[in-house]
Amino acid sequence: MKVVLFCGGSGMRLRGYSDDVPKPMVQIGTRPIMWHLMKYYAHFGHKDFILCLGYKGNCIKDYFLHYDESVSNNFVWSKGGKNVELLNRDMDDWTITFVETGANANIGQRLKAIEPYVQGEEMFLANYGDGLSDVPLPTMLDTFRKSNAIASLLLVQPTSSFDIVDAGPEGMVREIRPITRTDIWINGGFFAMRNDIFRHILPGEELVREPFQRLIDKQALLAHKYNGFWQCMDTFKDKQHLEELNQGSAPWKVWNCAANSSVDCNCPPLEQRKEQQIVVSAHV
């Protein structure tokens, strides 16, 4: 199943980290956040990626065209550096299509721009490209397949430290509680869509505004609630938190469960993870 990643954001609230690179290229540890996200999808067998480029898209192209696997893999160095033998590989079975979708385009416009590259696909996945989760993807997709919905989105509870304040008509406060202890759910940025979605997007429209409202009116938008790990990277504080997690448990690294049989990651059997030869192509 193809995975569409929206990679055109400038990350205005991450100034200082994203001045020279687009937001999805801001690093968590030694790799950009979009690499972590792609590893997540590849773990579940989805290794055919379409990157919707925008702000400084050349940085993303250069990163993959000059990809250094030794950064995140063990290797044997010999003969004064003439021989480097990788002991494991990251992405030799990935396919990545790079598509320029406009420097100032919104998500709806970026999605419409890649429509030709998902023609013939009954379903495809999409992601904002700036958040990580350990949501069991096969479960989410199985529910979506069994529905008549045109699109499905992941709902998560906000990780913000803001408080919800309930005040009476005269302004007297009745209750204060953390937003994390409410029944408020937000869009987590993980999507599954059927090809019919393109018929509901008009020129210039933002995906989750008019198009999704049309789906709501048709009862064709499915929500998948998940109260496990999810963290976006909107601010410097979010980046710090992900960096700290990366030094420890890093819950989104579901691909590590293969080395730890005690971890339940809801992985499909190995034989079901379709192997593909890497083909890197650019469409400008």
Query: What are the residue ranges spanned by the domains of the chain?
Result: 2-76+85-283
pLDDT band at 182 (very low <50, low <70, confident <90, very high): confident
Question: What are 188-218's pLDDT values in tens digits?
Answer: 999 999 999 999 999 999 999 999 999 999 9
- Is the predicted pLDDT of residue 283 greater than 60, yes or no? no
- The CATH H-level (homologous superfamily) assignment of domain 2-76+85-283 is Spore Coat Polysaccharide Biosynthesis Protein SpsA; Chain A (3.90.550.10)
For residues 25 and 276, which has the higher predicted lDDT (pLDDT)?
25
pLDDT of amino acid 79? 64
Q: Give per-residue pLDDT as tens, 113-165.
A: 999 999 999 999 999 999 999 999 999 999 999 999 999 999 998 877 778 89
In tens, the pLDDT along 209-256 reads: 999 999 999 999 999 999 999 999 988 889 999 999 999 989 999 998
How high is the pLDDT of residue 39?
A: 95
Q: In angstroms, rounded to a whole number, what is the distance separating the alpha carbons of residues 163 and 80?
A: 58
